[in-house]
Amino acid sequence: MDTKECIYSRRSIRRFTDDTVSDECIHDIIEAGIHAPSACNFAAWKFILISKDTPEYIRKAMCNQIALTAPYGLLVVYRNDLYVSGRVLGDYIQSASAAIQNMLLYITSIGLGACWLCGIPQEKNLRKAFSIPRNFSVIGYIAFGHPDPEGIATQNQMVYHYGDEERFRAHQPRYSVDQVLCKDKFRSVTDDCTSAKYPDAWSWYKKKIKTALSVLKLLKKK
């Protein structure tokens, strides 16, 4: 698979078969991650492998349906206390994200599937469960394995998106290059992300308040 085909065909895979991924393959996935660029070349990442062999009490700390059902996962953490010229280097999220994307592309290129997850438990809980030191931040989780053919979404198809409040979200067609490319200075064009309607926080809170009120009402009746 050439680079362009790999980039274009990568999709988030959220359902997997139980088939095994060899240790050699897992080694190569991590190797792809560590070939990413990193700020000041610190390469201060760690990848915590979670598989069916991981003790159940540790595994279930992930509390995310995709992570719990995927046969494999990599929890990506990165040093957050690195200094350059007396200043804390704040770009650890970017360095770790570069490694994550490298791994996603490599996984695609070998016919496996993966999903980048940030809808995972709070850092303090993960820290405890996976013994992560304070000077490492949790950046994301890669659930991966052999894709379940029924779990592969095509353009515009509604997919089950566990991390979402609405639970379902259509795969939007990508913005075109004309919509995202700004020459010399920032500019807005028709139907680009500056005018798109994103889910607003208010409707989320309103829904929660409404549910809480109806529960209170029910309790009062009892």
Binding footprint of ligand FMN on the chain (CB under 6 A): 11-12, 14, 66, 115-119, 161-163, 171
Q: Name every residue whose Cβ is closer than 8 Å to that of residue 120 and which is 6 or more positions away in sequence.
A: 62, 63, 64, 67, 126, 138, 140, 141
Phi, psi (rounded to 5 degrees) for 152: -95, 115
CB nearer to ligand FMN: pick between 14 and 79: 14
Distances (CA, A) of 47 to 11, 16, 71: 22, 21, 16
Q: Which of 145, 123, 148, 163 is nearest to 70 (CA)?
A: 145
Q: Closer to ligand FMN at the Cβ: 118 or 193?
A: 118
Residue 221 Cβ, how far from ligand FMN at the closest point, in Å? 37
The answer to whether the CB of 126 falls within 8 A of the CB of 120 is yes
DSSP 143-202: EEESBPGGGPPPTT-EEE-TT-TTSEEE-PPPPPHHHH--SSS----TTSTTT--PPPHH
Shortest Å distance, C-beta 65 to ligand FMN:
9
Element (H, E) at 214: helix 201-221
State which H helix or E strand residue 65 sits in. helix 65-69
CB of 8 to ligand FMN, least distance (A): 10
Place of tokens 């405890």: 128
Least separation in angstroms between CB 183 and ligand FMN = 26
**Nearer CB in complex with ligand FMN: 15/79:** 15
Choice between 79 and 161, CB closer to ligand FMN: 161
Minimum separation from the CB atom of position 142 to ligand FMN (A)? 10
Name the minimum Å distance from CB 12 to ligand FMN: 3
Neighbours of 182 (CB within 10 A): 11
Which CB sits closer to ligand FMN, 170 or 212?
A: 170
Q: In the complex with ligand FMN, which residue's Cβ is closer, 117 or 138?
A: 117
